[in-house]
Structure 1
Amino acid sequence: MHHLVKTIKNLSSTQVFREYDGTNFQPFQHKCTPSYGFTGDRMNKFRILLFATGILISFSISASDRSHNPHGYLLSSSPLDAANITLEYFVAPTGSDNNPGTLEQPFQTVQKCANVAQPGDSCLLRAGIYRETVRPANSGTSSTTPITFAAYNKEDVTISGANPVEGWQVFRGSIFRANASLPTNRYNDTGFFANQVFVNGEMMPEARWPNTGRDPLRPKLAGGGVKSQGGNAAIVENAEIPNLAEGWAGATVWTNDWYVTRTGTITGGTAGKLTAQMTAPWDRGGYWFYLVGKLGLLDSEGEWFYDGSDRTLYLWTLGGTNPNSVEVKQRNFAFDLGDRSYIVLRNLKLFASTVTTSDASQGIVMDGIRAKYVSHHMTLPPLPKSEQAPNSDDGLIVASHAHDTGIQLRGSKHTLKNSIVEWSSGNGVLLEGTGHRVTNNIIANSNYMASYAAPIRINGTGHRITYNTIEAAGRDAISFDWHTAGFDGNKIDIAYNDISRFGMLSTDLGAIYICCYVNLAGGAIHHNWIRDTQAFSPFWGTRGIYLDIESYNSTIHHNVVWNITGGKDSFYLVAGSPRGYNRIFNNTFLGSIYTDNTVEARNNIFRSSTSITASQQSHNLFQSTDPKFTKTTTTDSKSLPDFTLQSGSPAIDAGMAITGVTDGFVGSAPDIGAYERDAKVWKAGSRVQR
């Protein structure tokens, strides 16, 4: 048997707890005769731990060690348990899973390392693309003995859910075709939701009408409407709908219905008017819509269509040239961490795939992740009853795929930090369970299907969401929705986030949206920038901080909200509930707000309000008084307005002290508004660089 440990000398009555037999590390007992020295196979930073008469002895063998001392070095001895054995394995695309996993002889797949890694071990990945779903065989045992998967020396490492497609031939004109086995013929409600095609790492649009660009958050939509005919039945009308020789039956329609986005299957019809069955009953209708999923719609550059009956992928190539660098999504997950705990993922790229956990998972850490195209779906089925909170709506459609998309952190005490998550049909990050931390991340281009998913979707309690830059979302940016989360939103801290360009495909929403009847006791929404968004529809509005339908017990302080434009009934704040008070302190609102008599409002700047409704209010500054901001406008797209106070502002020292809110104020009294003159100026958003 080949062993990494060949000879152990100078030890008597020694028990070695792990050895490598060419396939796995196994417990074994090895008696050593007393003599001097240690020899072993070369392995960079490889530690061999021995238990001798109650003393743990750690040897380190590496190439550099051997050049100085062929017998190795004794690093430490301490009375530790043998479970503290930790090893480093190496993985490279050029390796082999028959190798021992050393730097010189690495494994080839991450899964091979995941099969053998024990608590405290590390899998160090060399540069390259790994097309696999990794499922660790074991968990770590604590935050100090995790199993780590990391890029070796920060090399460029990608775990990809996509595979290349080759063998292209001309079909007609600029359309090419290739034989390809994609995971689904059309769309699925569970499992693998929808096919996804990439060219040069960019998602291409499925063949559709009307034609659109390649940004799904800025689609070209048709007007005219999708109208309910009772139950699930609908008609789709627009005079410009073309006739298709193959017929429209089987195509998919997407439409926006007020705050609800819906999809359905076309059942018949011809040019100008189609019939459809929607995925859930409805009694209204949608105005904007598009149609997708027929070969006859493949008529513009970048579009594709997949015919599952003969496994043929069609693509109108970019520039009309022979396709290259084409990939298709084949796997949902880069890492499946269901029922796994204390796993660290560090400095890895994820492409066309995501990470999932389960209710039993604990202590997962994702640090320095670059995740792109994390989830993709094209239909909006009703939320399964098993995922609905008690007393939720039957046949629920608004929260479709809000429970199974994005980076999925279920369980307790997970952390996502220093990362970029971008492009998802649903969530950017899903928080379910208790005590998760999402800090210092960029989360962009989420929820292009415009359901109640969000860049950060919250279920559970005790979460901290801090110092994130959240930009470009189909609906809300941060969402707590009772349909799946229930009514307990205790001890949630939403702070120092920079939120912009939300509500790009829906209405009646908020940058921070809490709905409905949710108890927010013990947490706070504070020190956030909410800014720069244009309402999607002229028929309804967009909100900044939106506590919908009697959500209560919130504390909202030191937020700045500006430049929310367009639409009808747009408000920078909506709050009020007969169930309990909402406390509004030291905010700066540049637009109008909506509150009721269950609100306590103090130390706020209401720049566009002459008065507010609140049973308890004092020390507020209204429209008639100029607060003398430092800089309210900017012509440079890379700079932001400055809503700190100039010297001589009437807001300086004009507020009242509020414990836990104005602590540490400068001067004779706290200032009114979100910034304290002559104190350190707080900033929101991530420090991560793209």
Structure 2
Amino acid sequence: MKRRFLLIILFIYPAIHSFGASYYVSTSGSDANDGTSGRPFRSIGKAAAVLKPGDICHIDDGLYAETVQPARSGRPDAPIVFKKMNGNGRVVITGLDSVSANRWQKGPAGLYAARCEMNLGHENQVFLGGRMLLEARWPNSGDVLLEPVLATMKKGTTKTLIVDSSLPGFDLAGAKAWIHAPKYWSDWTTSITGNPEKGRLEIVDSAPFHEPSRHVAVEGATYFIFGFLDALDSDGEWFYDEKKKTLYVYRENGKLPKQNYYIKTRMTAFDLRARSHVKLEGIEILGATIETSAKSSHLIFDSMRIQYPYFSSLAAGSGAQADKGVRLLGSNCILKNSEVAYSSGTGVALYGENNQVLNCYIHDHDFIGTYASCVQLGGKGNVISHSTLTRSGRSVIDYGAMYQSLVQNCELSYAGMLTGDLGLTYGNVIEGGNSEIRYNVLRHNVAHHHSTGLYYDHGTQNIISHHNIVYGVELSAFHLNHYASFHLIYNNTFIAEKFGFRNIWGNKYAPELNGVRIVNNVFSQTAETAAPDYFWSNNITDYEGFDPKEPFRIDPDLMERGLYLEGISRGGPQKRPGIGAIESENGVFRVGHDFRNPPEMDTTRSRPRHRNLIINSAFEHEDHLDPWTSVGDVRKNKHKPKLQIDEDIGTGRMGAHSVELAGNRSEIRQVVTDLEPDCTYQFSGFLRVDKGERAVLGVRFPDGQEFTSPDVTFGAPAWRRVNLSFSSQEGAGDVVVFVRRLSQGSGNVYFDDAGLVLTGR
């Protein structure tokens, strides 16, 4: 019997995990070796070329200047692993190459020069002792990248002329200027068209955005100029002459340091595009990044330290650096127990599908001051959990492209260090797919203009925000611009200097909070809205009991005063929850990273009763139709992306997609499951119907019975919201909702922004 049992184990175990070979890499090895522990390879790339599924590459301490690209993928039961050999050692893979001491020639006035190839243009970097040096600039600045020393534009400044009497008489051939407008959204860089003359500097006006007058050079704006030899007068600076292929540094004491200078020559440390089932463990990366692609999957990055994953000296467009940094573009990839720091743009670009950032410390990003962030959250089903995101030129999370995402138990702090008019977290035109923002602390937005906390800008919908604590902001703790639909805002603590909640700005759109429910929240100040329809219950304004030194303090006066929220409240319906983020004596939650004691994480999504039950409600995701199905001539309509500055008269609302019902009796339909029995629901959406055409919204029950809205017979070019209420049947179950064209004329019928929500029993 024992023998038979042993045979069963031997047959089963290989199906669970396949053991492979071990290879070794050391800076003292040779690529001519066989990669054994006694005869290690010299480069990780050599090992990557021979590794097969199940193999492990053990890397000895040292600095490895290379780009590693595995020749093949692992398997689910046999991943390929790269890991450091010594637990307390340091394995550093870098995009840098050293400039050897014998290449330096001493020049006049503390300058040293070395001939070398720096071919990355605006992405060039120079390091000394692991620290990034600044390209020669005026005025000189310190080492804190997010706190630069700046000069101030004086009276007489125009869009193309900086007036500043403190400007030295530099030779500015090839120089550029970095401009920080006193207010608003993004900094920018531009060319200088001439040398300063009596405190006057001519520039090219390349201010960003649709309202550039808010960002142009103007009295009171700040700036620095960079990229010219005359400014090289500090130990922490460098200048590269592209024509002479010569790097210049300055040494105040006239002596070169003992450490080598390093220049960036490669952008990538690990190239894992189209690779799957690969794990990196305990490896540091300096001056380079990890590249993935949409075809990458099941990659694990554990206990990594990644510094300076991306750099560019140019703010060439507000979003030019938004997708830089560590790029997770595939599916089912995990970055955990890791540090990512010092990107001029975004730290982690979290796109793709079902990727996760877990227990990470992500800090000091967007020091160019554009629309970048610590984490740029897009894609489908992605998760940020139990992480610390802090110190950003703009927001710490930008979630403008998130869908079915989860952000939980994070400490999010110190946004707005280089820009204005932003939130600690921010997104514009989001179809969130019931994305969930829960159990986070958002604190200290230090922007000097319009500092907010949880900020959903125009055109956002289908987002659940609960049990968040927001404080240390000036304008509003919760900011929601028009239009907004199907937001559930439950059990949050919102602390700000001016407004607890503000909702008055729609630009070209009328006030609208369709399906928005705001329940069990604490606001330190007043709440202000211009919208006519929303649900507001059991909220407290003008609250004075919050102590920023004890943000998790339990206030007995708030306990058992809330409304029970099925799917959200922690206790059962027999006991009322408290109001605010700490809803009970056992309601304190953990936030931020902890490398020594990694937290347990539950990423199960909440299912509150009043969420939007329609999937892909604005056609911005999936294949821009799925899981809707179509009958007849139905066309996916991709239109020019629309923002709040555009009139609501195009072939789609905010976003870039809608659906056209092009033929008579054509329709789209979606099966909706799990309706509660004997309840009232409302199916709604927006129709744009040309004169002479007709369309309806409808619902079909399992027995074939249909209910439809009144015919929509005209309205174009404007959009009309259509509502259809119905009662679910006894036993409930599934229904089919549909949008149907009833005419066969030559006009157009478009549909966008659908919703199906519970409205009552």
**Structure 2 length normalisation: TM-score?**
0.70
Q: Deviations over 1:383-436 (max 9, x none)?
A: xxxxxxxxxxxxxx2211212x21011121111000000101011100121111
Contact 1:332 1:354 in 2 (8 A): yes
Residue 562, structure 1, aligned to residue 471, structure 2: yes
- Secondary structure at the residue paired with 2:553? strand
- Tell me which of 197, 206, 210 is aligned to 2:139: 210
Contact 2:492 2:520 in 1 (8 A): yes
Q: Which amino acid is the alignment partner of residue 425 of structure 2?
A: I
Partner of 1:606: 523
* Correspondences of 1:382-461 after superposition (within 5 Å): 397-403=317-323, 405-461=324-380
Change (3 A) 1:585 1:320: farther
Partner of 2:717: none
Partner of 1:644: 553
Partner of 2:423: 510
CA distance in 1, matches of 2:494, 2:12: 60
Partner of 2:287: 352
- Secondary structure at the residue paired with 1:133? coil
Partner of 1:43: none
Q: Deviations over 1:296-328 (max 9, x none)?
A: 011223111111222221112365532332211
* Correspondences of 1:28-177 after superposition (within 5 Å): 84=18, 86-142=20-76, 144-154=77-87, 155-165=89-99, 166-167=101-102, 168-177=104-113
CA distance in 2, matches of 1:281, 1:642: 38
Mind listing any 5+ residue stretches in structure 1 that lack a counterpart? 1-56, 59-74, 188-193, 382-396, 635-640
- Tell me which of 267, 270, 291 is aligned to 2:193: 267
Residue 311, structure 1, aligned to residue 245, structure 2: yes
CA distance in 1, matches of 2:588, 2:445: 24
- Tell me which of 541, 546, 554 is aligned to 2:455: 546
Change (3 A) 1:463 1:330: same
Give the Å deviation of 1:237. Answer: 2.8
- Secondary structure at the residue paired with 2:135? coil
CA distance in 2, matches of 1:609, 1:81: 61
Residue 496, structure 1, aligned to residue 409, structure 2: yes
CA distance in 1, matches of 2:208, 2:451: 26
CA distance in 1, matches of 2:565, 2:140: 55
- Secondary structure at the residue paired with 1:374? coil
CA distance in 2, matches of 1:222, 1:265: 17
- Secondary structure at the residue paired with 1:554? strand
Partner of 1:243: 169
CA distance in 2, matches of 1:360, 1:228: 50
Contact 1:180 1:313 in 2 (8 A): yes
CA distance in 2, matches of 1:601, 1:79: 53
Give the Å deviation of 1:280. Answer: 6.8
- Secondary structure at the residue paired with 1:178? strand
Give the Å deviation of 1:609. Answer: 2.3
Contact 1:408 1:431 in 2 (8 A): yes
CA distance in 2, matches of 1:613, 1:604: 19
CA distance in 1, matches of 2:584, 2:155: 53
Partner of 2:491: 586
CA distance in 2, matches of 1:572, 1:87: 55
CA distance in 2, matches of 1:543, 1:525: 16
CA distance in 1, matches of 2:326, 2:134: 23
Contact 2:61 2:86 in 1 (8 A): no
Give me the CA root mean square deviation.
Answer: 2.7
Contact 1:495 1:528 in 2 (8 A): yes
CA distance in 1, matches of 2:33, 2:156: 62
Change (3 A) 1:226 1:105: farther
Change (3 A) 1:347 1:200: same
Give the Å deviation of 1:122. Answer: 1.1
- Secondary structure at the residue paired with 1:366? strand
Change (3 A) 1:594 1:124: same
Contact 2:378 2:403 in 1 (8 A): no
Q: Deviations over 1:67-116 (max 9, x none)?
A: xxxxxxxx966796899461111111111111111111111100000000
Partner of 2:119: 183
Give the Å deviation of 1:278. Answer: 5.2
CA distance in 1, matches of 2:156, 2:301: 45
- Tell me which of 466, 470, 477 is aligned to 2:396: 477
CA distance in 1, matches of 2:436, 2:584: 23
Q: Which amino acid is the alignment partner of residue 176 of structure 2?
A: T
Contact 2:351 2:382 in 1 (8 A): no
Q: Number of residue pairs matched?
A: 563
Contact 2:491 2:583 in 1 (8 A): no
Change (3 A) 1:320 1:519: same
Q: Which amino acid is the alignment partner of residue 168 of structure 2?
A: P
Change (3 A) 1:490 1:267: same
- Secondary structure at the residue paired with 1:573? strand
- Tell me which of 192, 197, 203 is aligned to 1:276: 203
- Secondary structure at the residue paired with 1:296? helix
Give the Å deviation of 1:141. Answer: 2.3
CA distance in 2, matches of 1:266, 1:278: 10
- Identity between Structure 1 and Structure 2 (%): 31
CA distance in 1, matches of 2:63, 2:10: 37
Give the Å deviation of 1:579. Answer: 4.9
Judge which range, 286-295 or 412-421, deviates more: 286-295
Change (3 A) 1:76 1:288: same
- Secondary structure at the residue paired with 1:310? coil
Q: Which amino acid is the alignment partner of residue 248 of structure 1?
A: L
Change (3 A) 1:433 1:355: same
CA distance in 2, matches of 1:579, 1:504: 28
Give the Å deviation of 1:633. Answer: 4.6
